[in-house]
Each structure stands twice: as structure tokens, then as C-alpha cells.
Structure 1
Amino acid sequence: MRTIEKICDFLGKKLEPEELDMVLKYSSFQAMKENKMSNFSLITDDLVTNGLVLMRKGITGDWKNHFTEAQAEAFDKVFQEKMAGFPPGLFPWE
């Protein structure tokens, strides 16, 4: 809840308690996974190839089960290049 309040402060917006409850409810991983507007289930089959799953488990680090070592290294390289202008520590995850 505090993170949502911080985002609202940053945007200069004030949410009523009911609105905050709705944001919490509908921004959960489970709710987004079940919502056809956010889980990409409305995409036609011809646009989804090789059994692509766009939302898996919602578990931190699960990507390691889906990337090869070469893919992880390539992603890290691109990420470092694109984020080079941002302050160190802005993105504290691995």
C-alpha cells in the first residue's frame, strides 16, 4: 500500500480509501493474470508463437528457469547499456 501512496505523491494525486483498495485489488499478480485486458488472452493465436506464455508465476527470479545462460548474458548487456545514464542503485534487483 505504501508503494502506491508513494506513486500517488509523485504524480500529485490523492486516492480515496476505496480507490486505494481497488488499485491494490486489481494490481495484484493474480488479478492481472486473470484479467483478459492484461493477460494477453485476447491476442489471436497467429500472433502468439511457440506456446509463448506472457505471464507465468509472478515469482521473483523465475526467469532463470526460462532463459539460457547466453540469453541472460545478452539481456544483462543490453540492460547495462540502456540503464547507463541512471544513478547506480536505482534498480537494486539482480
Structure 2
Amino acid sequence: MSVNIVIDNKYVITSDPLQFVLQEKKIAKSGKNAGKEWLAIVGFYPTISKLVTALALHNILNGEARQFSDLEKQIEQLGEKCLEAFTANGR
């Protein structure tokens, strides 16, 4: 059984028999696939907890927070989106 969890239409978590894969949805800006969506691999993780930690770090480093209060809001929003995605996929 493989995992396929979409988080906020931006990230996708998939799996194979050995690992979890974090991917980010992107839109091609040029070339023959311009305008088409593709999945960029963020990383491969042996456990879901390591994947969630990496997702939070990736989100923080690529976010637009300029002060701690912004960072707190960003982390809370990501946590809520993960909870929604994990809960919806668990039903």
C-alpha cells in the first residue's frame, strides 16, 4: 500500500516500500511543458516524523516570514494544513 497525501495543494507525500517522498507542486514556466504542473522532489525520508520535520523546515526556509510572529503564524498554518490532510486521508 502506498501513501498519497496532498497538503494544501502545494505539497504531496507519497511512498514506496522503503521510504516516504515529499514533493512540491510547481508550474513549468517555459519550454514545451510551460503552464503544466509537475512535482519537484524535496526529499526522501525513512519515517513520517522525519518527513514532517523536513516539510516544516522547507516551508520556513521558503516562506516570507520576517519576524518571529510571522514565523509562528506560518508554522501554525502548516500544522493545520497537515492535520486536515492527514485526517481527510485517514477516513
TM-score in terms of structure 1 length: 0.28
Structure 1 or 2: more helix by fraction: 1
TM-score in terms of structure 2 length: 0.29
Structure 1 or 2: more strand by fraction: 2
Between the two structures, name the one with larger relative contact order (CA 8 Å, sep ≥ 6): 2
Which structure has the bigger radius of gyration? 1
